[in-house]
């Protein structure tokens, strides 16, 4: 069974593949109940920045079958925003995934 850190890292890798360099995610901390990610890039100045944070929730669900919710976010300095996520129940991944 994968750790939370491994699952989140895989989701971040997928996320960055499609969204970087406009938005780039970097794992700060991962633990059983949640995780923290720094997002950086020019998207930080846009009015739809929250959508980029939610996109990682969908990547995590697709990559690892984990449910997550955004707990909050704050400036991490420069063009970075730190987002805290809470993990919910793990669902079974379909066979063959």
DSSP string covering 40-52: ESGGGGSTTHHHH
- Residue 43 belongs to a domain with what CATH number? 3.30.980.10
**In-domain check, residue 36:** yes
**In-domain check, residue 16:** yes
Handedness of CA 45, 47, 51, 53 (dihedral sign): positive
**In-domain check, residue 12:** yes
**In-domain check, residue 94:** no
- Measured distance CA(36)–CA(24) in Å, rounded: 14
**In-domain check, residue 31:** yes
Q: How far is CA 67 from the centre of its chain?
A: 11
What's the domain range around 77?
A: 4-89
pLDDT in tens, the chain (97 residues): 688 999 999 999 999 999 999 999 999 999 889 999 999 998 866 677 889 999 999 999 998 899 999 999 999 888 899 999 999 865 554 545 4
Q: In angstroms, what CA-CA distances link 5 with 21, 48, 63?
A: 23, 27, 13
Q: Shortest CA distance to 53 belongs to which of 29, 42, 69, 75?
A: 69
**In-domain check, residue 52:** yes
Q: Count structural domains, the chain.
A: 1
pTM for this predicted structure: 0.85
- Measured distance CA(30)–CA(37) in Å, rounded: 9
């Amino acid at each position: 069974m994968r750790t939370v850190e491994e699952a989140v890292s895989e989701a971040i890798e997928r996320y960055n593949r499609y969204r970087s360099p406009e938005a780039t995610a970097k794992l700060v901390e991962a633990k059983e109940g949640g995780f923290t990610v720094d997002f950086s890039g020019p998207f930080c100045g846009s009015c739809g920045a929250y959508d980029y944070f939610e996109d990682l929730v969908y990547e995590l669900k697709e990559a690892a079958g984990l449910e997550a919710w955004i707990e909050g976010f704050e400036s991490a300095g420069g063009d970075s925003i730190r987002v805290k996520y809470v993990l919910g129940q793990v669902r079974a991944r379909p066979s063959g995934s």
